[in-house]
Amino acid sequence: MSQTPRGADIVAQSLKRLGCQRVFTLSGNHIMSIFDAALDAGLDLVHVRHEAGAVHMADGHGRLTGEAGIALVTGGPGHANAVGALFTALGAESPMVLLSGHAATWELGRGGFQELRQADMAAPVTKASWTANATETLGRDIGEAIRIATSGRPGPVHLSLPSDLLDARVDESTVAWPERQAATKASLADTDADKVLAAIAEAARPVIIAGPQMSTVTGRALLAKLEAATGAPAVIMESPRGIADATLGAFPDLIKRADLIVLLGKALDFTTKWATGPAFDPDVRLISIDPDEALVARAKKEKGARLLVGCVAGSKSAAETLLDRASKTAPRPWLAEARTALDNRPAAWRSIVSQTAGRLHPAEVFRALRPFVERDPDTVLICDGGEFAQWGQSMLPVRRRLVNGVTGSIGSSLSFALAARLLERRAPVFAVLGDGTIGFHIAEFETAVRRGLPFVAVLGNDARWNAESEIQRRDYGANRMHGCELLPARYDQVVAALGGHGEHVERVVDLPGAIERALGSGKPSCINVMIESIAAPAIRLTP
């Protein structure tokens, strides 16, 4: 590198030093210096079609690796487009950094090109958000952004990079290069672990609810061990549908009977219904173990003396400490009862068939897809959207799975699929989504074709935004359902036109062949399955 690097070189070299070789980006005037610097730093620029797509890809990368995903967008409109997608990453507790170009410092307050208060704009949807103020310290800013994104409760961080700081050259001896730092995670004190274990042992019907950070292959394995060691059923809550998430089977029947709920990195919020109201035992007690002190304090404020233990600790390390200190317990009947509820799926789903010619019932789609998802343990499954995807979340095996997450924002799945394929070169990547949802980022199929990133999108096409239609039916009446209709468009043909593989399916017998051909094509694929509009499943032990 030159003795007098540009700020842009410092940014690119710092990313490389910190192990971030892949950058999800969309070009723009403010960041072309970084594109140039990326050549010498050897960064892989994954050049996408919408800034929100770049953020979703960085989010998907963060969720799958636990390392910060990096998105790079231009200032002003590029940044504005990116910000909305940060909300998804925030809710999913995904480590990622958004780097945005920014008007030059000398232009600020003078009506500069694409001048915008970018850091203020991103602040509510990030853990930290700031604007760099010197060329020499750009590397340190990047190191700090990555450290914050991956520490404690992971999440998105934003850093704006004024273009004059990127263009300026400085003497290399003055550069503050970032150090590779381990993410800081508080550990659970042994005394607290023992209190938690004692409370679980004393409870008759304990339930452990983990947050989205545990939604990884290792997190799930750890939770399964914790469940076996403590006799308390352990679940992950990562859906805005909360206790009614179809992934959790008849969870409402189970949680109503719980006398102790252990929140393991799970916020006491709307998804957990603040553990109050008719869905809960009024005497239920809680434990909150959370990396974020503010969330422990919130649980204390909400629950008062009902909060038995509140302590600050990272979810995974806390689960490991609990496992280390747990003594062998005899199997409890409660765990068997709880598993029956969690694994419960109505018998009718095995034989349910569509009532409409030329359209499949969602259950038929997922019965056909299931063996393909099960074929390879490394398969990545992505579920996104409304009612159709909820059927997928309840009927498909959960191992390496990404869902849009607690914020409920739809549209991220195609970007997730690209990020997943860049990491997983062999096993299938499936994205399950609705016809409304595919519209947000359908152009990313072009990115996938350009980059040679095959995956299979299984699209449930009911020609409507059905989740919202169902709200209209329920709250306002069947005769007042309007404004949510779409055309039964041929999304498969759009994908084929972009260079991918398209399949159109109207009969269940044709679906396995279509999936097989899509996988065999080696191309980004879209199977446009015409479906009936069916509400998301609600599972109860006794209907």
Ligand X SMILES: Cc1ncc(C[n+]2csc(CCOP(=O)(O)OP(=O)(O)O)c2C)c(N)n1
Q: Which is nearer to ligand X, 435 or 444 (CB)?
A: 435
For residue 481, the minimal CB distance to Mg ion (Å) is: 13
Question: Which listed option, Mg ion, ligand X, none, makes contact with residue 206 (CB within 5 to 8 Å by class)?
Answer: none
Question: Which listed option, ligand X, Mg ion, none, makes contact with residue 213 (CB within 5 to 8 Å by class)?
Answer: none
For residue 481, the minimal CB distance to ligand X (Å) is: 13
Q: Which residues is 288 bridged to in the sheet?
A: 263, 310
Q: Which is nearer to ligand X, 30 or 49 (CB)?
A: 49
Helix (H) or strand (E) holding 137: none
Question: Which listed option, Mg ion, ligand X, none, makes contact with residue 88 (CB within 5 to 8 Å by class)?
Answer: none
* Contact flag: residue 466 with Mg ion (CB under 5 A): yes
Q: How far is CA 242 from CA 91, 219, 247, 406, in A?
A: 13, 19, 10, 8
Within a 10 A sphere around the Cβ of 39, how many other Cβ atoms?
Answer: 10
Question: Which listed option, ligand X, Mg ion, none, makes contact with residue 411 (CB within 5 to 8 Å by class)?
Answer: ligand X
Q: Distance between CA atoms of 313 and 472, rounded to whole angstroms?
A: 42
For residue 354, the minimal CB distance to ligand X (Å) is: 15
Q: Which is nearer to ligand X, 44 or 485 (CB)?
A: 485
For residue 438, the minimal CB distance to Mg ion (Å) is: 9
For residue 345, the minimal CB distance to ligand X (Å) is: 19
Q: Which is nearer to Mg ion, 227 or 435 (CB)?
A: 435
Task: Please compute, for residue 8, the number of CA atoms within 13 A of its CA located in the half-sphere on the CB side.
Answer: 21
Q: Tokens 């490394």 appear where?
A: 378
Q: Which is nearer to ligand X, 373 or 467 (CB)?
A: 467
Query: Which tokens sit at 101?
Result: 């170009």
Q: Which is nearer to Mg ion, 280 or 465 (CB)?
A: 465
Q: Distance between CA atoms of 88 and 403, rounded to whole angstroms?
A: 10
Q: Which is nearer to Mg ion, 436 or 500 (CB)?
A: 436
Residue numbers 418-437 binding Mg ion by CB under 5 A:
434-436
Sheet holding 525-530, edge to edge: 400-403, 380-384, 429-434, 456-461, 525-530, 501-505
Q: Which residues is 530 bridged to in the sheet?
A: 461
Q: Tokens 């963060």 appear where?
A: 62
For residue 441, the minimal CB distance to ligand X (Å) is: 11
**Residues binding Mg ion: what is the number (CB under 5 A)?**
5
Q: Provide the 8-state DSSP code for 411.
A: -
Q: Distance between CA atoms of 293 and 241, rounded to whole angstroms?
A: 25
For residue 534, the minimal CB distance to ligand X (Å) is: 8
Q: Which is nearer to ligand X, 38 or 531 (CB)?
A: 531
Q: Write the burial class of residue 331 (CB in 10 Å: 0-12 exposed, 13-18 middle, 19+ buried).
A: exposed
For residue 18, the minimal CB distance to ligand X (Å) is: 31
For residue 487, the minimal CB distance to ligand X (Å) is: 12
Which residues contact ligand X (rule: CB under 6 A)?
A: 385-388, 408-411, 434-437, 460, 462, 464-468
Q: Which is nearer to Mg ion, 93 or 435 (CB)?
A: 435
For residue 528, the minimal CB distance to ligand X (Å) is: 12
Q: Which is nearer to Mg ion, 137 or 528 (CB)?
A: 528
Residues contacting 456, CB < 8 A, separation 6+:
428, 429, 430, 431, 515, 518, 519, 525, 527
Give the number of residues written for the chain.
Answer: 543
* Contact flag: residue 413 with Mg ion (CB under 5 A): no
Question: Which listed option, ligand X, Mg ion, none, makes contact with residue 385 (CB within 5 to 8 Å by class)?
Answer: ligand X
Question: Which listed option, Mg ion, ligand X, none, makes contact with residue 437 (CB within 5 to 8 Å by class)?
Answer: ligand X
> What is the dihedral angle through the alpha carbons of 250, 255, 256, 257, rounded to the nearest 10 degrees?
110
Q: Which is nearer to ligand X, 162 or 411 (CB)?
A: 411
Question: Which listed option, Mg ion, ligand X, none, makes contact with residue 467 (CB within 5 to 8 Å by class)?
Answer: ligand X
Question: Which listed option, ligand X, Mg ion, none, makes contact with residue 424 (CB within 5 to 8 Å by class)?
Answer: none
Residues contacting 117, CB < 8 A, separation 6+:
none
For residue 264, the minimal CB distance to ligand X (Å) is: 26
* Contact flag: residue 59 with Mg ion (CB under 5 A): no
For residue 384, the minimal CB distance to Mg ion (Å) is: 12
Question: Which listed option, Mg ion, ligand X, none, makes contact with residue 53 (CB within 5 to 8 Å by class)?
Answer: none
Question: Which listed option, Mg ion, ligand X, none, makes contact with residue 153 (CB within 5 to 8 Å by class)?
Answer: none
Q: Which residues is 410 bridged to in the sheet?
A: none
* Contact flag: residue 462 with Mg ion (CB under 5 A): yes
DSSP secondary structure of 335-390: HHHHHHHHT---GGGGT---SSTT-B-HHHHHHHHHHHHHS-TT-EEEEESSHHHH
Which H, E and C letters describe 74-132, residue by residue?
CCCHHHHHHHHHHHHHHHHCCCEEEEEEECCHHHCCCCCCCCCCHHHHHHHHCCEEEEC
Q: Which is nearer to ligand X, 334 or 388 (CB)?
A: 388
Query: Which tokens sit at 409?
Result: 């924002």
- Nearest-CA neighbor of 151 among 70, 97, 79, 220? 97
Residues found near Mg ion in the complex (CB under 5 A): 434-436, 462, 466
